[in-house]
Amino acid sequence: MKTISGVIRTAWLFPFALLCGLTSAAAPSLNITLVLDPGGPFDKGTNEAATLGLERAVREHGMPYNTVTAIDNADMLRQLRLAARSSNLVIASGRDSAAALTVAAKEFPNVRFAGVDTLPSGPNTAGLRFREQEGAFLAGFLAANVTSTRILGVLSTADDIVARKYRAGFKAGVALACPACRVLDVTQPAKGSMVDASTLAKKLYAQGADIVLAAVGANNRGVVTAATAVQCLRAGMLPKGVTFQSDVFAKVPRGDPYKAECQGVTRPVFAIGTDSANLDSAGDSDVDRKTLNHALTSVVKRTDNAVFALVDDLAKGRPWRTGERGFGLENDGIELSMNDFNAALLTKELKSKVTAVEKLILGGTLKVPSQ
């Protein structure tokens, strides 16, 4: 059924099992509502992943659940209040939901509230947050191993704590693999647009950066779009003092549009997405996964795993843990995307190097900065 704020979906999975008591004893006591931010359930990002994680938990344990999309921040609070009247676990997705969650949690002390990618306040609240810097470190290490100019770029949102974590981790990863490399750092205003992100990314490519990390939230696609538009750097147009150092991707097949645009001595440019692997497909400008893709990889926040872990704990009767619940490399909360979109770009040797660095982080040998 439709509401003013969006689509509400109610799912009763395994009704027969619930009636017969075949599911976990704790499961029937859970009734969950997931409130999504205005991006909606198919945002190819945090909302979509959170929905998948909840649905996975419901398939495993069997309990009623709803999802609803808020139309703005004010509606987020209204939807949380409505959800708290019928659910004993309310999850809100989106970094702007902390204030609304805090207010609703105070009004409904017997209901548990959780924020995805945010940290509300109150004894009945929890925040599912991520160590983005760990994934960004791996991305920086990877980029530094394949750069043709030894110049990398980071485009991030100004005054944004998550963007700072991405930037710090990326720079540290680059420094480990290539101390001689430079990282150009540009910020976009908090209210910047996808077009703004694309324009700034193109400026980074013009300065000789051949790989740019996109840490601008919903505007990440703008950076990928810029990479597919620029396609390559030309030797004759490189800034003074910048030269091509390597040609790691020389044997990767190119599509016809690339061949037509990038003749002579050139090197391809790439974007590295953040938050979701769905950006990988956006870099595949010729829709041929065997040819060069301008999305080198993405730092993926496994929101699905975080939401599943929260619901799974409650379904199994484990104690509620208030405050922050952190997710990183060690508990499958962060990863680099390595799939068929970038299979032509990432050799076995390169993947092995990244895996080795990941093990050093997990073992505590490498400390990844967050700012």
The whole domain housing 194 covers 132-301+338-362
Whether residue 370 is contained in a domain is answered as no
Q: Is residue 11 part of a domain?
A: yes
Cβ-contact 307, 281 below 8 angstroms: no
Q: What are the C-alpha distances in Å from 201 to residues 158, 160, 167, 279?
A: 15, 18, 15, 15
Residues 28 and 88 in one domain: yes
Q: What is the predicted pLDDT for the residue at 18?
A: 34
Cα 205 from Cα 152, distance rounded (Å): 9
212 and 114 within one domain: no
Q: What is the CA radius of gyration of the chain?
A: 22
How many Cβ atoms are within 10 Å of 84's Cβ, its own excluded?
A: 20
Q: Return the CATH number at 149.
A: 3.40.50.2300
> Do 253 and 312 fall within a single domain?
no
Judge if 235 and 193 occupy the same domain: yes
Are 120 and 199 found together in one domain? no
284 and 312 share a domain?
A: no
How high is the pLDDT of residue 218? 81
Kindly state whether residue 78 falls inside one of the protein's structural domains.
yes
Residues 212 and 244 in one domain: yes
Residues 265 and 182 in one domain: yes
* The pair of three-digit structure tokens given for residue 136, joined into one six-digit string: 């960004």
b/e map of 138-153 (b: 16 or more CB within 10 Å)? bbbbbbbbbbbbbbbb
Report if residue 333 sits inside a domain.
no
In a domain, 44, yes or no: yes
Q: How many CA atoms lie within 13 A of 127 on its CB side?
A: 19
Neighbours of 248 (CB within 10 A): 16
pLDDT, position 17:
36
216 & 251 share domain = yes
Torsion angle of the four alpha carbons 191, 280, 269, 177, in this order, in degrees rounded to the nearest 10: 100
| Same domain flag for 191 and 248 | yes
Low-confidence ranges of the chain (pLDDT < 70): 1-28, 282
| Residues 45, 56 share a domain | yes
Same domain, 234 and 97: no
Inside any domain, residue 345: yes
Q: Has residue 106 been placed in a domain?
A: yes
Residue pLDDT, tens place only, 294-310: 999 999 999 999 999 99
The count of domains in the chain is: 2
In a domain, 57, yes or no: yes
Look at the pTM and tell me if it is higher than 0.85. yes
